[in-house]
Structure 1
Amino acid sequence: MMSRTVHIARLLTALLFLAIGLITLWHSHELPFGSLRQLKPGFFPNVFGGLLTGLSVLMLIGLVRNRPHHTDGVGAQEADEPVHWKGLLSFIGIFVLFLAITYALGFVIAMFVALAASGFVLGLRGWRLAVLAIATTAAIWLIFDLWLGVSLPPGIWL
């Protein structure tokens, strides 16, 4: 049985992902979808927005069905787990930084900075942090820009 704090955190996460999925679907509904043989700009936003929406709904259903019950003094109630505000605020800051850098300098630079910052917050240092940021950024660029031909946002200054 999960504590009340964990249940609320998961509920908020599912609602946030649901909102992101719906916003992604809403913003990409007019983009041409294409096919598996010839992908168009709307393919990935529609597929991932749909998956995110669907999985969020499933998560919400599971959370509603398995919500913690108050014992009202009967039996031992689990102690609530602490909320780590520093980590939450760090990742919100990284997301805002990612958006600002994407707008100004482009997606590739923003992805590198966001991955490096996220890895640092999670405790990665040295070569592991460098490999995470460089390899993941390179893989995203190779797959989307070169292989699939999906133009990644260049930023207003580049």
Structure 2
Amino acid sequence: MASTDTSAREDGGFLARMGRHADVVVGVLLIVIGIATIIESRGFPATAVGTDIGAGAFPTAFAYILIVLCLLQIFNHFTHTGQDIDAGDAAATSTRPNYLVPFLGVVLTVLYVALIHWTGYLASTPIYMFVLLRVIKFRARMASVLIALGVTIALYLIFDVGMGVALPPGELFD
């Protein structure tokens, strides 16, 4: 039994060990990003309108929400580690994490951010969301289309129409 445990550790390597604690690592990294967002958003300029809450209010609020959710994720990791896997289930403990899906998600997000100023919010966001839903293997195509369009329209109505925050119109369509 001891030789099996040793060989599993040797075969698993760094990525397998990280897979077991990836939620903690991601949580800590996102907490750092949240703190950086709070610090940076304090430097946003104030507006001349006295009732305006300021440009930094929404990034700060979302950063605090992100930090709280990450703390809950880390807490959940330490309180529930190993409880969902049977001790005798060797197949469940030997599976390797799939890094392709998160990697593709990051690549798609970087492309979206890089292209949104050129293509515009209304053209690029539904495409990005649809492709991202397909990458994460959301199976229902029609639901993917409806979710992508619905979220795009909802965010447009909230930010552009409701709050008057101009979303990128895109240079391609100017």
- Tell me the TM-score range normalised by the shorter chain: 0.7 to 0.9
Provide the residue aligned with 2:4 in structure 1: none
Higher helix share: 2
- Residues 83 and 152 of structure 1, relative CA distance in 2, 3 Å threshold: same
Provide the residue aligned with 1:48 in structure 2: 62
Give the aligned length.
148
- Residues 128 and 142 of structure 1, relative CA distance in 2, 3 Å threshold: same
Provide the residue aligned with 2:151 in structure 1: 136
| Aligned residue among 74, 85, 88 for 1:60 | 74
Aligned counterparts of 1:10 and 1:94: Cα–Cα separation in 2: 21
Question: 1:107, 1:154 within 8 Å by CA — same for their partners in 2?
Answer: yes
TM-score by length of 2: 0.68
Provide the residue aligned with 2:30 in structure 1: 17
Relative contact order higher in (CA < 8 Å, ≥ 6 apart): 1
For 1:1-150, list aligned pairs within 5 A: 7-31=20-44, 32=46, 38-63=52-77, 65-66=78-79, 79-121=93-135, 122-150=137-165
- Residues 39 and 112 of structure 1, relative CA distance in 2, 3 Å threshold: farther
**Gapped runs of 5+ residues in structure 1?**
70-74
Max Rg structure: 2
SS at match of 2:93: coil
Identity of aligned residues (%): 22
* Alpha-carbon offset, residue 117 of structure 1: 0.9
TM-score by length of 1: 0.73
